[in-house]
Amino acid sequence: MSASRIASFLFVVCAALALAACNDDKGKTAQGWVEADLIFVSPDESGRVEDLAVREGEAVAKGAPLFTVDDDLQQADLIVKKAAVVNAQQNFDRAKQLLQTAAGTQKNYDDAEAALRQAKANLDSSQTKLKRRRVVSPVAGTIQQIYFRSGEMVPAGRPVVAILPPSNLKIRFFVPEAALPSMAYGGEIGVSCDGCGKNLTAKISFIARSAEFTPPVIYSLDERAKLVFMVEARPDQPNKFRVGQPVSVALSNPSGAKEAAK
């Protein structure tokens, strides 16, 4: 056998071995990305953003001020409600006095008492609305995005800022049907990415019950191999990852899978 034929034969063998190794790696590793369940904070009523107390990327504690919305209408409503309480209190006192002197009726007294309770309830509601024009953070986390700036009008229910609590970060990836037996809720998986630290792990928190990209109803063995199922896992060190970052997930025997399956 000539040297050229021997070299060609060795090249084919090496290429075949490399392809087999590549396919084997693909069977043990899934490609995924980092996602997050953001907390969107919005005002109860429409208004103009007056003071924006945070910036994107800034860490905030629970209860920290985020933004304020103009409160002119709420201040005016509060004045009206306070006046209504004063009037209701005067009517109640008059009805009470008349009842004691037998010049009034029990019904008039009961009506005045109910009107006073309603006026006080309306005042409490107005004070709450005024207080909620100053919006604070409902959770501890990082400001991911700001949608409205100072001076802009924001409709009721539209988020002004989005906050990411560390515990709301998750790894999302897809696994083939054959890998499902090695997946279990609470099972630990290895996660790696460019620029991340070593030995990073995550715990499986969700396994889809239905397949993605479902082929026709009649499956052949080849078509069944194309089925994939979405899996989500919560990283043990969420501060090591960033939203949208591509990651690689080790699929071979996640620790805890066998115990969780029992």
User: Is the same domain home to 230 and 172?
Assistant: yes
- pLDDT tens-place values along the chain, 262 residues long: 444 443 333 333 333 333 333 444 445 788 899 999 999 999 999 999 999 999 999 999 999 999 999 999 999 999 999 999 999 999 999 999 888 887 778 889 899 999 999 999 999 999 999 999 999 999 999 999 999 999 999 999 999 999 999 989 999 998 888 888 888 889 999 998 887 878 899 999 999 888 776 444 444 445 555 678 899 999 999 988 888 889 999 876 555 444 443 4
Is residue 17 a part of any domain in this protein? no
Is residue 111 a part of any domain in this protein? yes
- The CATH number that applies at residue 236 is 2.40.30
Instruction: Please tell me the pTM assigned to this model.
Output: 0.71
C-alpha to C-alpha distance for 83 and 180, rounded to whole angstroms: 67
Structural domain count of the chain = 3
- Tell me the residue range of the domain where 75 lies: 71-132
Cβ partners under 8 Å of residue 66, min gap 6 = 41, 52, 53, 54, 60, 135, 136, 137, 160, 161
User: Is the same domain home to 123 and 84?
Assistant: yes
- The CATH number that applies at residue 121 is 1.10.287.470
User: Is the same domain home to 218 and 187?
Assistant: yes
Is residue 18 a part of any domain in this protein? no
Longest dimension (CA), the chain: 129
